[in-house]
Amino acid sequence: MDKPLYLTFDDGPQPGSTDVILSILAEYGAHADFFMIGRQVAAHPDLAAAAYAAGHGIGNHTYHHPSLCGIDHATMRAEVSATREVLGALGSGYLRPPYGYSDLHTARVAAELGYALLFWHVDPRDWRRPGAEVIARHVLRNCFPGAIILLHDGGGEERSQTHAALHLLLPALIGQGYALRSYCRTHPHP
């Protein structure tokens, strides 16, 4: 039985984190998706290119990371379009609203721009830095085949707990028969 699982990382790319995560994923033969902030891609295009070249998916996470809930049409279009421009051919057809905040307007504008919204099933709140074991335990207790897991590689915070959690999670998940894949690349959105 096929047991896909989709790790996703938000708020990068961030030097000292995205590159570390890419190395850890490579060590375990795992693929993931990175929902990137446009201004971060503009500052660190090499990290975005490295993630894509390694077989990971790249999603749009807006240019400045504003909440899209209640945002006006022109501002949302500008945020998403500016990130699409800096991502270029690396980008997929998926948009993750910052904070997971969305309303009917968000979905409509995303569709107008050719994007599908992609959220998550499991959030261990790694951004709170509760400890690597807590992060790993939450994912292991709550994951299921086809689940999308939310983690972070950016946001200006130190992410060593997320890195350490990956060293706990990846062998455990692989041992349970999960195939760690890129959602964006295995479910292309036209």
Catalytic residues: 10, 152
Cis peptide preceding 190, ω within 30 of 0: no
**CA distance from start to end of the chain:** 28
C-beta separation of 92 from 55 below 8 A: no
Return the DSSP state at 89.
G
Q: Is 6 exposed, middle or buried (0-12, 13-18, 19+ CB in 10 A)?
A: buried
Burial class (CB in 10 A: 0-12, 13-18, 19+), 165: buried
- How far apart (Å, rounded) are the C-alpha atoms in residues 142 and 182? 19
